[in-house]
């Protein structure tokens, strides 16, 4: 099921997300209300420790930091969309 821009925006607002670049994933055959899943971007060390202040770990020419991109998305059931928004 492909959603229009207006419906995607309404789903994001129902989940409490204001950013327009957060992807909306439709779960077929589900009545799930919009929920936020995944994590935001962050830095970790190569050992997996979370880095709160990345600038303090930088060294010229070498860095122990790894960038972890965002996996945040809004998941919603197709039956919920049909019942509440269409």
Each residue of 6-33: pLDDT tens digit?
Answer: 999 999 999 999 888 899 999 999 899 9
Q: What is the mean pLDDT of residues 27-42?
A: 92
Sequence-distant (≥ 6) Cβ neighbours of residue 35 within 8 angstroms: 15, 74, 75, 76
Query: What is the pLDDT of the chain when averaged over all its residues?
Result: 87
Closest CA to 15 of 37, 31, 30: 37
Question: How far apart are the C-alpha atoms of 53 and 43, rounded to whole Å?
Answer: 9
Q: How many CB atoms lie within 10 A of CB 22?
A: 17
What six digits make up the tokens of 72?
A: 């945040």
Question: How far apart are the C-alpha atoms of 42 and 53, rounded to whole Å?
Answer: 10
pTM: 0.78
Most confident stretch, 46-50, 51-55, 57-61, 75-79:
75-79
């Amino acid at each position: 099921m492909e959603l229009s821009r207006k419906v995607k925006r309404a789903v994001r607002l129902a989940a409490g997300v204001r950013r327009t670049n957060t992807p909306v994933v439709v779960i077929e055959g589900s009545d799930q209300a919009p929920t936020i899943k995944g994590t935001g971007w962050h830095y970790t060390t190569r050992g997996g420790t979370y880095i709160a202040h990345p600038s303090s770990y930088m060294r010229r020419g070498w860095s122990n930091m790894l960038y972890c991109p965002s996996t945040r998305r809004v998941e919603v059931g197709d039956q919920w969309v049909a019942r509440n928004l269409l």
